[in-house]
Amino acid sequence: MSEYVLEMNGVSKSFPGVKALDHVQLKLRAGKVHALMGENGAGKSTLMKCMFGIYKMDEGEIRMDGQPVTITDPMDALTKGIAMVHQELQPIPARTVGENIFLGRYPMKKALGFIPIVDHKKMYDDTAELLKKVRMTFDPKQKVGELSVSQMQSVEIAKAVSANCRVLILDEPTSSLTSNEVEALFRIIEDLKAEDVAIVYISHKMDEILRIADEVTIMRDGKYIGTWEASELTTDKIITQMVGREMHNLYPKRENVPGDVVFEVKDFTSINPRSFRHVNFQLRKGEILGVGGLVGAQRTELMEGLFGIRSHTTGEILYKGKPLKIDRPKDAIDQGVAMLTEDRRGSGIMAVLSVADNISISSLNQYLDYGFVINGRKVENLVQDNVKKMNIRTPSSKTLIKSLSGGNQQKVLVGRWLANNPDVLILDEPTRGIDVGAKYEIYCIIADLAKEGKSIIMISSEMSELIGMSDRIMVMCDGRVTGFVNGSEATQENIMALATQFE
Amino acid sequence: MDNSKQNTGAKILAVIKGNPIALLLVVAAVVVGCLKDNFFSWANFSNLMSNTAVRFLIALGVSGCLITKGTDLSAGRQVGFAAVVAGILCQKGDYGSKLWKWAPEMNIGLVLIIVLLIGLCWGLINGFIVTKLHVPPFIATLGTQTIVYGISLVISDAQPIGGFQKIYTSLINGRLGSTKSFHLPYLLFVALIFGFLFWFIYNKTRHGKYMYAIGGNDVAAEVSGVNTTFTLIRIYATAGLMYALAGYLLAAKSGGASASMGQGYELEAIAGCTIGGVSTTGGIGTVPGVLVGVLVFELLKIILQFLGVNPYYNYVVQGLVIVLAVALDIRKYIAKK
Ligand SMILES: Nc1ncnc2c1ncn2[C@@H]1O[C@H](COP(=O)(O)OP(=O)(O)OP(=O)(O)O)[C@@H](O)[C@H]1O
Ligand SMILES: [Mg+2]
């Protein structure tokens, strides 16, 4: 028996214009959590997709229990005991939770003794079991499309767990979970460790890595940097290895001075009775207002309501004292409000279009000659500015956005909104899936915008980010605003207290 | 030097890989040309060009619908409708079986404007049904297809229409250059002008970018402030204009019109677009691609005709080419993994 359940040696993989992996290795032990770390575009997801049979590697080998294996496709990977939760979720929205989990391997039974049909009862019973295992309480028969992003993620995890795997790949599983759910996930991971499953854990969150990882492999620019025992590492060491230089601060010094109230929301209520209701708040010029709460607190729904994506019944929005009429996002954008949405795949990127098209789409008016001809050079300048400012890794501005790494896609979307030069910028989980270096860059951008007098609303599920970046934090619970905390007085405890103030 | 040669070689290879069907057909055409004498004649060439020209206009119209993940099944019937209206209005004043005896002989330029306005209306109706009534394009245009056909039958009394003014047919069938040897049909220029116009719209204008954005991800486009409703209505309306233009030209080209004209053209146009790389999943498609697709289809027809294939088999071959072309095209995306 080999010491490793699975090892990958000398793996290389190129895409047109990029060498995504350059002789990378990864060795997994049974019952251990192996963290895989690196900046956006370092090649983590690509390596995992090679292991899971989604990509064919150009070079290198995979061994399981010391024996060389070839993995042809995901189905093959699953039968060999490898399961993966993808960074980009891919559920089928119109089908139920149960159907999504058992897709492709529905439990069958025989009707009249010989006609094979799907055993729905067993499927939903098993689903209920699995959901209990991942500590989720929703109905197995609910349509996946009705779930929130984090709930969908739990479904994906349940799906992977149900495959009885020996190797489980979690690619940024917590990027849209709140702390409670992260705890639940960690308990599941502990359970799986006890069952001798080897777990690959990809995340940009240092505290998580240091808590649950046993070993850490770090990659940079598609190259293998090294593997360490987690106990030998500190956040600083990891960051230095990842970035290739030292980083001192996680948050920039903010110099913005909140001024007069510019944006005011009064008695804002959703048409959905279970969603946000009677929300009142004010936003000052040059202020960063953090929005905290548990998953299900309706923070995203509220912001989407303000931005015209969702409908409201009562309430008004005042901008500089004048009522804003927002029926659809275009109205909001025309009046200087912009919003980076939470669901990158669903409402963010246009996958088959280029980076240039994606970044310029909401600000095209600025690049017109004679009022109607798009000036390619101006668009190119916009792309290059952003590439430089946020260190976006893309072979060119014509590259399709879908071939960028998750974090780099996010940076492109941030760029899209900045190009609009909005007065009020709503950011829903702006640093989701972004590496430490780039996070810092995005924080700097937020801080700069605030200093310039822009008003910013930032939803975040990362406590430290909320506390580190906000002038004020609005906390929501179950559709209501339960209170405000000043940034300087904010602590994990007082935010949690408000976030759990159920009626 | 050597290096650049290699590059050109690689580029050519890429083009071949990218369009195997087109290449295959060009090869087939050369072979047929060697076998049959008058294949490589100006008459045949100009015939191919004017056929392609009309189909290309229709395909351009439908391409916008396809790129935005929609479709337009009413294209063919709209062409027929325009042909019928143009035919009726362009009949000679003294023609014995003139359909509308009470109407005076009309200026053909005025007729063009009327026909275009009607096409615009049909397009607006499609756009309205798709965006405001939220009926999926497939169903919406299936409905209008039938409605348009019905009205065509009513106004043409289900009769063939002939006896056009001389100027109408001679102008549109006109050609540049001597008739026997070298000449280029006017229709070719019409097609080129519109091809360029659409290329410009698709690549250089906000409307074009919005169109691709809607096709790429309609939710994201809406959230980014794209007026998706207006953009879609504009796309369907433009399509209506193109069909009307095609119908107007087609009636003159054939020297007669009837309600059944244009039947099945929507499928040919969609097939042409798809062969030319317009993706049915949205967001992808170029004007040169559409041109290649349509050309391939027309070339195929002419080759079959020259080979003297039983016309019924034409359908079989054309169907096979559609499936094969798209299957090969899709391979490009699969191979990337
Ligand atoms: N299908 C593809 N086509 C072309 N390039 C690709 C493709 N997939 C990934 N790449 C490129 O490979 C590199 C590695 O990407 P990968 O997704 O593995 O990064 P990552 O480490 O997972 O980053 P992140 O933390 O942002 O998710 C990137 O430069 C990316 O642009
Ligand atoms: Mg990744």
Closest by CA to B55, choosing from B214, B330, B247, B255, is B247
Query: Do A329 and B224 meet the contact criterion of CB atoms below 8 Å apart?
Result: yes
Stretch A83-111: mean pLDDT: 79
CB-CB under 8 Å, A362 with B212: no
Average pLDDT over chain B, rounded to an integer: 89
pLDDT at B179: 66
Partners of residue A330 in chain B, C-beta under 8 Å: 222, 225-227
Distance A218 CA to ligand 2 centre (A): 13
Select the CATH number that applies to the domain covering B41-336 from these four: 1.10.10, 1.10.8, 3.30.930, 1.10.3470.
1.10.3470
Residues 6+ apart with CB under 8 A from A113: none
Q: Give CA–CA dist A356/A415, Å, rounded.
A: 10
Q: Determine how many CB atoms are found less than 10 A away from the CB of residue A32.
A: 18
Tens-digit pLDDT profile for residues A443-472:
998 999 999 999 999 999 888 899 999 999
Residue B328 pLDDT > 80, yes or no?
Answer: no
Q: Give CA–CA dist A60/A71, Å, rounded.
A: 12
Average pLDDT over chain A, rounded to an integer: 89
Distance A41 CA to ligand 2 centre (A): 7
Q: Give CA–CA dist A409/A403, Å, rounded.
A: 9
Segment of A36-50, B54-68, B275-289 carrying the highest mean pLDDT: B54-68
Give the gyration radius of chain B's Cα atoms.
Answer: 21
CA nearest ligand 1 atom 8, residue: A403
* High-pLDDT (> 90) share of chain A, %: 51
Task: State the distance between the two ends of chain A, measured CA to CA, in whole angstroms.
Answer: 57
Give the gyration radius of chain A's Cα atoms.
Answer: 23
Alpha-carbon distance A287 to nearest alpha carbon in chain B (angstroms)? 24
Bridge-partner residues for A18, per DSSP?
A15
Which tokens hold the place of A43? Answer: 């090649």
Distance B64 CA to ligand 2 centre (A): 34
Stretch B166-171: mean pLDDT: 93
Q: Give CA–CA dist A299/A176, Å, rounded.
A: 13
Tens-digit pLDDT profile for residues A363-414:
999 999 998 899 999 999 999 999 998 888 899 999 999 999 888 999 999 9
pLDDT at B4: 46
Residue environment code for A33-44, b if the CB has 16+ CB neighbours within 10 A, otherwise e: bbbbbbbbbbbb
Q: Is the pTM of this model over 0.90?
A: no
Which tokens hold the place of A280? Answer: 């009142």
Query: Do A428 and A342 meet the contact criterion of CB atoms below 8 Å apart?
Result: yes
Among A55, A204, A221, A404, say which to mutate for ligand 1: greatest number of ligand atoms within 8 Å of CB. Answer: A404
Stretch A332-355: mean pLDDT: 92
CA nearest ligand 1 atom 29, residue: A41
CA nearest ligand 1 atom 5, residue: A403
CB-CB under 8 Å, A56 with B206: no
CA nearest ligand 1 atom 10, residue: A403
Q: Give CA–CA dist A238/A219, Å, rounded.
A: 10
Instruction: Point out the residue among A307, A353, A368 whose CB comes nearest to the CB of B216.
Output: A353
Q: Give CA–CA dist A117/A105, Å, rounded.
A: 12
Residue B163 pLDDT > 80, yes or no?
Answer: yes
Tens-digit pLDDT profile for residues A180-205:
778 878 888 888 899 899 999 998 88
Q: Give CA–CA dist A482/A475, Å, rounded.
A: 6
- For the CA of A87, the closest atom of ligand 1 is 27
| CA-to-CA separations, B87 to B75, B80, B90, B175, B252, in angstroms, rounded | 18, 10, 5, 21, 8
Q: Is B54 helix (H, G, I), strand (E, B) or coil?
A: helix
Q: Give CA–CA dist B73/B146, Å, rounded.
A: 10
Stretch A245-256: mean pLDDT: 80
Query: Do A209 and A230 meet the contact criterion of CB atoms below 8 Å apart?
Result: yes
Q: Give CA–CA dist B77/A494, Å, rounded.
A: 68
Ligand nearest to the CA of A432: 1
Partners of residue A368 in chain B, C-beta under 8 Å: 206
Exposed / middle / buried, residue B96 (Cβ in 10 Å: 0-12, 13-18, 19+): exposed
Stretch B153-167: mean pLDDT: 93
Top residue of B201, B223, B330 to mutate, by most chain A CBs within 10 Å, is: B223
pLDDT at B2: 41
pLDDT at B18: 66
pLDDT at B165: 94
What kind and span of H or E run contains A472?
strand A472-477
Q: Give CA–CA dist A115/A113, Å, rounded.
A: 6
CA nearest ligand 1 atom 19, residue: A41
- Tracing tokens 């956006």 back to the chain, one arrives at A40
CB-CB under 8 Å, B337 with A329: no
Alpha-carbon distance B213 to nearest alpha carbon in chain A (angstroms)? 6
Least confident of A57-61, A233-237, B4-8, B146-150: B4-8
Partners of residue A365 in chain B, C-beta under 8 Å: 206
Tens-digit pLDDT profile for residues B115-141:
999 999 999 999 999 999 999 999 999
pLDDT at B326: 76
Chain CA centroid to CA B131, Å: 23
Which tokens hold the place of B198? Answer: 């659409």
Interface of B with A in 196-235 (CB under 8 A): 204-206, 209-210, 212-213, 215-217, 219-227
Q: Give CA–CA dist B269/B317, Å, rounded.
A: 16
Tens-digit pLDDT profile for residues B13-25:
666 666 677 777 7
Q: Give CA–CA dist A49/A43, Å, rounded.
A: 10
ipTM: 0.84
Helix residue spans in A406-485 (DSSP H)? 406-418, 436-451, 463-469
Longest alpha-carbon distance in chain A: 75
Which residue of chain B comes nearest to A365, CA vs CA? B206
Stretch A97-107: mean pLDDT: 81
Higher per-residue pLDDT: A136 or A290: A290
Bridge-partner residues for A216, per DSSP?
A35, A228
Query: Do A178 and A150 meet the contact criterion of CB atoms below 8 Å apart?
Result: yes
Helix residue spans in chain B (DSSP H)? 2-18, 20-35, 42-67, 75-89, 108-131, 137-156, 166-172, 186-204, 206-216, 218-223, 228-254, 265-275, 287-306, 311-335
Higher per-residue pLDDT: B177 or A340: A340
Instruction: Point out the residue among B204, B209, B282 whose CB comes nearest to the CB of A357.
Output: B209
CA angle A88, A90, A96 (to 5 degrees): 140
Among A26, A45, A57, say which to mutate for ligand 1: greatest number of ligand atoms within 8 Å of CB. Answer: A45
Tens-digit pLDDT profile for residues A107-133:
888 878 788 888 888 888 888 888 887
Instruction: Point out the residue among A334, A347, A362 whose CB comes nearest to the CB of B219.
Output: A347
